């Protein structure tokens, strides 16, 4: 199967500047083509000339304009032809997306006619779409071709990637994309990998888990062997959110956001103030760090699930607005990783021969998983435990929903398996930053789990660490 291998690309500062210049040139070409496309579109509206349709709306129409633009703007010759060509193809794709969206053939939000791009906001990536053209990988060293200089000499830069692709992938490289994210450069290789698929008729019984996504916790799962799993949310979410807010508010409170740079008494451009630039840099770095660590957590979780289960079913709920106050709405929309978890699980499952499914969550919380009695009114979010009025079973809110999900999944996957088993063990999965930590939950058995006060927690912590909790000056 096809997959991407993303690696940090280490370059010396001069080469970084070269690569960035290439991105800027591609961006310039893109904008020139947008200008041209706009003119062609207006022309077509007036004249209905079929030749324009061929140029504007076919796959290679805009790409074929590149040589003439290159002749007009010779600086484009210092970019390798693959990334240039792909800048044109990218615009064609955007135009086609707009057309499909207008005709109602495209899912999701409506897409507008493509506009101009800004390098600062979204740098173009350099795509070398043929494995033998424009780049060469030898071990960890990657040589990238930059086209010709004004004197007709071929230019190259050489950088180093973290890990040789031969070590991780077992098949050929399909293409290479050089991307800039914040202040780092990445080499993204598309490779074809062969994965070991599990045989279709496994002698062991199928292991199935149904997960119910939540807000406070990431998900609660119940499997067909009687094990319940509580998956905790990303532990650093609050820390990152607070730090990001702090830096952002400091940045936006900068009195002098930018100062005009004048040449001969004329304002040429605005340069951000040093403090603003520094804070902005910090903000972006932290954002990157958050993105990296959440991604690591989701990948680890997805691998864990794919390793232990044959079928992984996740509730089809997606967070949308709602919530009682601003903070809650924010945490519901921003911090929810469930959508990303689904994508990660879907991918790892297909890679390792497992099945990923979604189950219909409608009414799953208020239906008793024991006797199928349905409450007339839904349960408010603060009710964690409830008792079924019909069969008097005491339910944990999320566990009951997950059991309903498991019921649904079992009916489809193993129709003859009968009842879902009684729960025998509950455990809790926590991400520590390095891996997953699995803890047992015993307190779940009782309706009132003990909640430690802050001072009590601190006291226990210091006791564990062997610190002296006796106040200074006390006589023992
Ligand atoms: Zn019941």
Give the count of alpha carbons within 13 A of 464, CB side only.
6
Ligand 1 centroid from CA 316, angstroms: 24
Does residue 454 come out as left (phi exceeding 0), alpha (psi in the -120 to 50 range) or beta?
Answer: alpha
Ligand 1 centroid from CA 207, angstroms: 26
Ranges in the chain, pLDDT < 50: 443-451, 468-476
* Phi and psi torsions of 61, nearest 5°: -55, -50
Ligand 1 centroid from CA 392, angstroms: 6
Ligand 1 centroid from CA 475, angstroms: 59
Coil, strand or helix at 369: coil
Edge-to-edge strands, sheet with 173-181:
126-128, 173-181, 184-192, 2-10, 154-161, 141-148, 135-138
Q: What separation in angstroms does the CA of 121 have from each of 126, 181, 210, 271, 291?
A: 16, 11, 41, 15, 18
Ligand 1 centroid from CA 372, angstroms: 6
Round to whole Å and give the CA distance between 388 and 408.
20
Round to whole Å and give the CA distance between 151 and 364.
70
Predicted confidence (pLDDT) per residue in 379-437, tens digit: 887 788 888 888 888 888 888 999 999 988 888 877 766 667 778 888 888 888 888 88
Ligand 1 centroid from CA 283, angstroms: 51
pTM over 0.75: no
Residues, Cβ < 5 Å to ion ligand 1? 368, 370-371, 373, 388, 390-391
Residue 371 is predicted with a pLDDT of 87
Ligand 1 centroid from CA 263, angstroms: 79
Residue 35 is predicted with a pLDDT of 93
Domain boundaries, the chain: 2-193, 208-465
Q: What separation in angstroms does the CA of 204 have from each of 309, 310, 369, 419?
A: 12, 11, 27, 19
H or E segment and range at residue 3: strand 2-10
Give the count of alpha carbons within 13 A of 140, CB side only.
9
Predicted confidence (pLDDT) per residue in 351-385, tens digit: 888 889 999 988 888 898 888 888 888 888 778 88
Ligand 1 centroid from CA 375, angstroms: 10
Residue 446 is predicted with a pLDDT of 43
Ligand 1 centroid from CA 401, angstroms: 13
Ligand 1 centroid from CA 295, angstroms: 39
Residue 88 is predicted with a pLDDT of 93
């Amino acid at each position: 199967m096809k997959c991407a291998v993303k690696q940090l690309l280490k370059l010396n500062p001069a080469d970084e500047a070269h690569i960035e210049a290439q991105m800027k040139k591609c961006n310039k070409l893109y904008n020139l083509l947008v200008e041209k496309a706009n003119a062609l579109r207006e022309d077509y509206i007036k004249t209905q000339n079929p030749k324009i349709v061929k140029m504007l709306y076919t796959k290679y129409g805009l790409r074929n304009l590149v040589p003439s633009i290159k002749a007009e703007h010779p600086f484009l010759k210092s970019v390798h032809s693959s990334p240039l060509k792909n800048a044109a193809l990218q615009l064609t794709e955007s135009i086609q997306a707009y057309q499909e969206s207008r005709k109602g053939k495209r899912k999701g939000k409506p897409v507008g006619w493509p506009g101009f791009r800004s390098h600062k906001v979204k740098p173009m990536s350099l795509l070398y779409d043929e494995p033998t053209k424009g780049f060469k990988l030898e071990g960890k060293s990657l040589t990238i071709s930059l086209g010709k200089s004004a004197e007709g000499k071929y230019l190259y830069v050489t950088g180093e990637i973290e890990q040789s692709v031969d070590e991780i992938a077992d098949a050929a490289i399909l293409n290479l994309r050089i991307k800039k994210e914040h202040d780092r450069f990445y080499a993204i290789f598309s490779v074809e990998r062969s994965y070991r698929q599990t045989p279709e008729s496994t002698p062991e019984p199928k292991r199935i888990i149904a997960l119910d996504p939540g807000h406070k916790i990431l998900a609660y799962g119940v499997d067909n062997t009687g094990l319940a799993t509580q998956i905790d949310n990303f532990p650093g979410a609050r820390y990152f959110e607070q730090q990001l807010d702090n830096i952002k508010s400091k940045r936006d409170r900068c009195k002098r956001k930018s100062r005009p740079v004048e040449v001969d008494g004329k304002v040429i451009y605005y340069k951000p103030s040093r403090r603003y630039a520094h804070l902005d840099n910090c903000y972006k770095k932290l954002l990157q760090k958050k993105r990296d660590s959440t991604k690591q957590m989701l990948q680890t979780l997805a691998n864990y699930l794919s390793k232990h289960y044959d079928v992984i079913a996740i509730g089809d709920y997606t967070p949308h607005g709602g919530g009682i106050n601003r903070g809650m709405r924010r945490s519901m929309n921003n911090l929810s990783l469930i959508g990303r978890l689904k994508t990660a699980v879907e991918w790892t499952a297909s890679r390792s021969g497992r099945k990923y499914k979604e189950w219909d969550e409608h009414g799953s919380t208020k239906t008793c998983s024991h006797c199928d009695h349905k409450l007339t009114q839904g349960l408010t979010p603060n009710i964690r435990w409830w008792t079924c009025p019909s069969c008097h079973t005491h339910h944990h809110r999320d566990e009951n929903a997950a059991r309903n999900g498991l019921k649904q999944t079992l009916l489809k996957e193993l129709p003859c398996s009968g009842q879902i088993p009684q729960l025998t063990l509950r455990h809790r999965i926590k991400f520590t930053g390095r891996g997953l930590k699995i803890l047992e939950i015993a307190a779940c058995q009782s309706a009132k789990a003990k909640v430690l006060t802050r001072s009590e927690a601190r006291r226990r912590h210091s006791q564990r660490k062997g610190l002296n909790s006796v106040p200074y000056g006390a006589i023992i």
